[in-house]
């Protein structure tokens, strides 16, 4: 056998005298190591486009789970439904005992310190929850975690692997039974799931085993990402089926916009389960007062008077090639414009090499990010895959007019010709027209920027948290 596995098992078993407990820990460790290796193989085969081999790798996990079945069933058999118990006590005694009135929730996510809207939303929401005195803890599984602005329970993963076509995003394979044990001991009243990855699946299993209420958030349009990144319609349909199955298991599903709510209903999802996810914003951080005309000059030479800004992941699915083409076209027309790109991602090097005249700041946070927004003249976001777009409301709070496409969630944040412009998706002519119009009219930009801030001024994180907490309260 492998010496490192033997050493790990010896370390884990030395302090356990009870034979039954030792057998449980040994079965758990062996099963988790094997399951991780097969799951890793599954991800590699999917990335290589080998569908048959990927299914074989995934099916190999089933016999391993049989080993853990007695322990998993043990959790289930000890956990009567909380809702059922509440109803019984209410009918028999007229009141619900204090032990069943607790409202303690765990928020599970595969991503927490990554540079994306999901991680930002979770951290801001849980911080608002802590400030409101609510019992809410984030549960994840990472080897290294530097987040300290939210209450977190982190489990050391069995292993980590990179996503095919998106190497900057790592997923962890969590210690499943340890998580189940933790959830049972902490007596949570609800499980919240942000991602349908290995940690989300573990949370779903725990909720089913322990009869807990569940809610999930559909942050990301995974099927569309898969189509754009792989150009494989079969993989896109497989992803849709998985999403439908996963979110269909939950009691409540939050989506980021009315458009996504309608698209889920069209795909046969129960409308009663679907709710719009409330969003917050730090309107003191993102503020027009942070405008600094010289801000972008420290990142390179100024090539134009009017600054166009893009903030977000630098990845192909964001339709950045469209923005690049419109920018080149307008500069060729003689417009004095400067494109500034804030963010990083798998397409960053290739994109920056194709646009030497643009400024690339890399990833910015806090005051620097707020200054970048406020120092821009026009915010341009051509993406058609975003379900919401935190960056849109951050730009609006900074008093900057925004240009978005007519596909996806961001268009619901913009009133066309009032606080921004909505353009036809994948249309270089229309995107160029919108930029050209705003570049030519500083008074219109100023008016739109003021209205943009007005439109988001009430979107505070405490308000968003209150709505979210009340939406699924038992």
Kindly state whether residues 114 and 253 are assigned to the same domain.
yes
Higher-confidence residue of 61 and 437: namely 437
- Residue 469 in domain: no
Q: How far is CA 332 from CA 273, 328, 438, in A?
A: 50, 6, 17
pLDDT in tens, 172-201: 889 888 898 899 889 898 999 999 988 999
Higher-confidence residue of 470 and 75: namely 470
Give the structural domain span for 346.
Answer: 288-456
166: CATH: 3.40.50.2000
pLDDT at residue 367, as a whole number: 96
Kindly state whether residues 312 and 435 are assigned to the same domain.
yes
- Residue 462 in domain: no
Kindly state whether residues 348 and 405 are assigned to the same domain.
yes
Kindly state whether residues 134 and 228 are assigned to the same domain.
yes
pLDDT at residue 401, as a whole number: 98
Kindly state whether residues 242 and 301 are assigned to the same domain.
no
The yes-or-no verdict on residue 412 having pLDDT over 90 is yes
Kindly state whether residues 270 and 123 are assigned to the same domain.
yes
pLDDT in tens, 243-260: 999 999 999 999 988 888
| Strands 166-173 vs 159-163: parallel, antiparallel or unpaired | antiparallel
Q: Which helix (H) or strand (E) holds 402?
A: strand 402-405
Angle at 387 between CA 307 and CA 261, to 5 degrees: 145
- Residue 467 in domain: no
- Mean pLDDT across the chain, nearest whole number? 84
Q: 2 pLDDT band (50/70/90 cuts)?
A: low
* pLDDT, mean of residues 158-163: 78
- Residue 160 in domain: yes
pLDDT at residue 351, as a whole number: 93
Q: Which residues contact 110 (CB under 8 A, 6 or more apart)?
A: 140, 171, 172, 194, 195, 197, 198, 199, 200
Overall domain count for the chain:
3
pLDDT at residue 440, as a whole number: 97
pLDDT at residue 33, as a whole number: 64
- Residue 468 in domain: no
d(CA 204, CA 178): 14
* pLDDT, mean of residues 351-370: 94
Kindly state whether residues 445 and 300 are assigned to the same domain.
yes
N-terminal to C-terminal alpha carbon distance within the chain: 50
- Residue 431 in domain: yes
Kindly state whether residues 309 and 432 are assigned to the same domain.
yes
Largest CA distance in the chain: 79
- The residue from 221, 248, 276 where one domain ends is 276
- Residue 166 in domain: yes
Kindly state whether residues 153 and 231 are assigned to the same domain.
yes
- The residue from 68, 91, 121 where one domain ends is 68
* pLDDT, mean of residues 339-354: 93
Kindly state whether residues 452 and 317 are assigned to the same domain.
yes
Three-class SS of 29-96: HHHHHHHHHHHHHHHHHHHCCCHHHHHHHHHCHHHHHHHHHHHHHHHHHCCCCHHHHHHHHHHHHCCC
pLDDT at residue 210, as a whole number: 87
pTM of the model: 0.74
* pLDDT, mean of residues 351-375: 94
- The residue from 251, 276, 301 where one domain ends is 276
pLDDT at residue 150, as a whole number: 79
* pLDDT, mean of residues 364-375: 96
- Residue 466 in domain: no
* pLDDT, mean of residues 311-319: 91
Kindly state whether residues 123 and 194 are assigned to the same domain.
yes
Kindly state whether residues 99 and 210 are assigned to the same domain.
yes
Describe the crossing of helices 19-47 and 3-13 by its angle, rounded to 10 degrees. Answer: 140
The yes-or-no verdict on residue 6 having pLDDT over 60 is no
* pLDDT, mean of residues 396-415: 95
């Amino acid at each position: 056998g492998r010496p490192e596995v033997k050493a790990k098992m010896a370390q884990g078993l030395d302090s356990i005298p009870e034979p039954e407990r030792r057998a449980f820990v040994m079965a758990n460790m062996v099963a988790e190591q094997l399951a991780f290796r097969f799951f890793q193989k599954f991800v590699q085969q999917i990335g290589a486009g080998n569908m048959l081999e990927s299914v074989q790798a995934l099916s190999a996990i089933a016999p391993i789970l049989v080993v853990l079945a007695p322990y998993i069933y043990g959790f289930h058999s000890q956990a009567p439904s909380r809702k059922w118990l509440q109803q019984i006590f209410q009918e028999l005694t007229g009141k619900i005992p204090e032990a069943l009135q607790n409202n303690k929730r765990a928020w599970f996510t595969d991503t927490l310190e990554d540079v994306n809207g999901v991680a930002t939303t979770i951290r801001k929401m849980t911080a608002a929850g802590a400030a409101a005195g609510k019992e809410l803890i984030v549960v994840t599984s990472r080897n290294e975690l530097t987040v300290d602005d939210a209450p977190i329970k982190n489990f050391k993963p069995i292993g980590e692997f990179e996503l095919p076509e998106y190497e900057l995003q790592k997923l962890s394979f969590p210690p499943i039974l340890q998580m189940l044990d933790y959830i049972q001991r902490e007596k949570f009243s609800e499980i919240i799931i942000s991602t349908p990855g290995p940690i989300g699946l573990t949370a779903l299993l725990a909720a089913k085993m322990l009869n807990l209420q569940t809610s999930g958030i559909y942050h990301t349009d995974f099927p569309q990402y898969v189509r754009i990144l792989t150009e494989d319609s079969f993989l896109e349909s497989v992803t849709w089926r998985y999403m439908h199955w996963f979110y269909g298991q939950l009691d409540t599903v939050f989506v980021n916009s009315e458009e996504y709510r309608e698209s889920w209903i069209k795909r046969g999802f129960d409308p009663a389960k679907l709710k719009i996810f409330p969003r917050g914003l730090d309107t003191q951080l993102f503020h027009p007062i942070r405008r600094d005309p010289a801000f972008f000059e420290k990142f390179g030479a100024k090539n134009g008077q009017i600054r166009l800004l893009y903030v977000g992941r630098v990845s192909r699915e964001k339709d950045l090639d469209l923005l690049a083409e419109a920018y080149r076209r307008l500069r060729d027309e003689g417009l004095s414009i400067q494109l500034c790109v804030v963010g990083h991602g798998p397409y960053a090097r290739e994109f920056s090499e194709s646009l030497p005249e643009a400024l690339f700041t890399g990833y910015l946070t806090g005051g620097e990010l707020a200054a970048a927004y406020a120092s821009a003249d026009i915010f341009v976001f051509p993406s058609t895959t975003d379900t919401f777009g935190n960056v849109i409301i951050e730009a609006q709070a900074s008093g900057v007019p925004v240009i978005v496409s007519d596909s996806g969630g961001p268009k619901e944040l913009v009133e066309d010709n009032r606080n921004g412009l909505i353009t036809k998706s994948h249309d270089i002519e229309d995107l160029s027209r919108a930029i050209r119009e705003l570049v030519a009219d500083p008074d219109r930009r100023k008016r739109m920027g003021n209205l943009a801030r007005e439109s988001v001024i009430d979107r505070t994180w405490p308000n968003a948290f209150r709505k979210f907490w009340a939406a699924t309260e038992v």
